[in-house]
Amino acid sequence: MAHAYTPGLRVTQHAVVHKERRLPLKGEVVVERGQAVRRDQVVARTELPGEVATLNLVNRLGISPQELAGYM
């Protein structure tokens, strides 16, 4: 059976990934800096006021992410 992979994608059982996460509002970080976490582990939380709706404006406006600031 043939397999197709995205160019540049590394297939591995174990990998270390470093990601910066930012909360949209002040909140509580529940892990320590540099601490190993699982992919499904909560690292921070915040309460968003009111009803929140996520919009993919780049897609809806048909623009690139770099152009979005000019539309705000």
- The full set of domain ranges for the chain reads 28-71
CA atoms within 13 A on the CB side of 60: 6
The gap from C-alpha 34 to its chain's centroid, in whole angstroms, comes to 18
pTM of the model: 0.45
Residue 47 and residue 28: Cα distance in Å, rounded? 10
pLDDT in tens, 35-60: 988 889 999 999 878 887 899 999 99
pLDDT in tens, 3-39: 776 787 777 888 888 888 888 889 999 999 889 888 8
